[in-house]
Amino acid sequence: MRGFFVSRPIGALSVIAAAAGLVACGGGDDTTTPTTTAIPQLAAAQAGTLSAACASLTGFTYAGVTIDSAATVPAGTLTLAGAPVAEHCRVAGKLGSRTGSDGKTYAIGFEMRLPQAWSGRFFYQGNGGLDGSVVTATGSTGGGPRTHALQQGFAVISSDAGHTGAQTTAFGFEPQARLDYGYQAAAKLTPMAKALVKAAYGRTPDRSYFGGCSNGGRHTLVATSRLAEEYDGFLAGAPGYNLPKAAVSQIWGAQQYARAYTAGATTTANGATIADLSTAFTPAERTMIAGRILAKCDALDSAADGIVSDTAACQKAFSLADDVPTCSGARDGTCLTALQKDVLANIHAGARTSTGTAIYNTFPFDAGISGNGWAAWEFVNSLALDPLAAGVVFNANPAFLANPLTASIDALAAAITATSATYAVSGMDFMTPPNPANLSVLKNRGAKVMVYHGVSDAVFSYDDSVTWIKNLASANGGDASNFARLYGVPGMNHCSGGPATDQFDMLTPLVQWVEQGKAPDAVVASARGTGNAGGVNAEVPASWAATRTRPLCAYPKVAKYKGSGSLELAENFTCQ
């Protein structure tokens, strides 16, 4: 089968990767003896005000730090979700300037935004994709951001994780840049950021939080292990905590789709020609599949409302083989061929080597398969982004993949756990939390973890987050809910989008849990229909109210209809 693929580095990769979030996951099986130590209640943060003149922070001194600018940002200059941001001080600089082994200059670039009216809290913003960009330090939270840490009075830091956008296609060849991207940038910036907070407010933060989605979610779960003493609350969205495995999985998936795509069909991504894998499953076919899933699973939560809340029950109820018609003639959007069914079944069963060894986790069937974000990750990013990650950044012998559609999956899967003379730390070691199921340090400090994940995430599997919470529970006597909780978002694609209620604020309940002991059994989420200030989600079904709300329940509970009242209101559902 003839294929078209990226045969050169993609110069604009960092832009798309930062915007979308790049690959992730695979589950850890670590266990630890449950502790009997009582979990302490952390004290609430106390508010303060900026005590130093913003411009004076250009004189901030810290080993290895250069401050490039410090300037006041007047109220309303920056707006988030249609709301003005209060006056704050923006400080930009870099840490650890050095000449890399490739002769290029590297540094960890950062910006901090320090509100005039301070909550007494600090937020480390984990960014997406392959990083490489110091994006605005707003501390965005939720699938469709409604509130941000900066708006809530947090001092917020954002960084490029140790390389610039211009270096993003090649930083994987530089050993230290790999380590900074994986985890060391966050470890180096954390004490510096707290020192800058002290210089600005006269004291260090009372409470510190770490959060992000996609690769930012990975950064967050890595921090739960590596920086457990430094942070009190962790908010991980769609965490790619086994990112190297997910990258290989995506390339494996592209090879599966290539079995069913229209030979010779091409599209472009970042100016390069690639195979148009979307011809393997057209929008009409994916919409049909979503409809068949809804037909079997929608009412399992006692409400036929276009949302599959009971994901686990759906995997038992829905049969791709039996519930989706098999084409007897030409493809027309109402059926799938036997080959298409085989490909889709393989995708959901999870990537594996030629000998059948699992590489990554399974993916659940969910109505969000119709989403544009699902298609982008499966058909485009699997060829435009993941080959760079798996071939260069996580590989013990980095090299650009000339043809992802013919690359050896066995070799790629082996390379992410291997080392070499130059790259002494494997991709899995520098990218993943060392002990994802052993969070005893975090737990015994009184810190808390909240994870949210779209059930229809096509790159980082929701099942991988379920594996994480199950392993964590097993390591804590069967229940970790007193310090860690997972919230699935039915229909949501990667971090946002899809037919879903994907707008929510999880930072506020996390703060309340950490500082007041109020454990969040559910978080109310809303649809982003017409008129939404945080941005409209065009994939909200026309049959839904524009402001539909639903409770996102802490796993393993699911939202069940109470039996009366409007299907558009969260108050008429309960977590069971």
Catalytic residue IDs: 214, 457, 494
Upstream peptide bond of 499 is cis (omega within 30 degrees of 0):
no
Alpha-carbon distance of 92 to 313, in angstroms, equals: 49
Residue ranges of alpha helices (H) inside 355-461 are 372-375, 382-384, 386-388, 409-415, 427-431, 440-445
Q: What does 243-291 look like in DSSP terms, one character per residue?
A: HHHHHHHHHHHHHHHTTTS-TT-EEEETTEEEE-GGGGS-HHHHHHHHH
Task: Identify the H or E element spanning 45.
Answer: none
Query: What radius of gyration do the chain's Cα atoms show?
Result: 23
Residue ranges of alpha helices (H) inside 421-498 are 427-431, 440-445, 462-474
Contact 403, 140 (CB under 8 A): no
**How many CB atoms lie under 10 A from the CB of residue 536?**
15
DSSP 554: B
Closest CA to 524 of 562, 565, 566, 568: 568
Alpha-carbon distance of 321 to 324, in angstroms, equals: 6
3-state secondary structure of 508: helix
Contact 215, 64 (CB under 8 A): no
Dihedrals φ, ψ of 209, to 5°? -130, 155
Paired with 210 in beta bridges are 124, 234
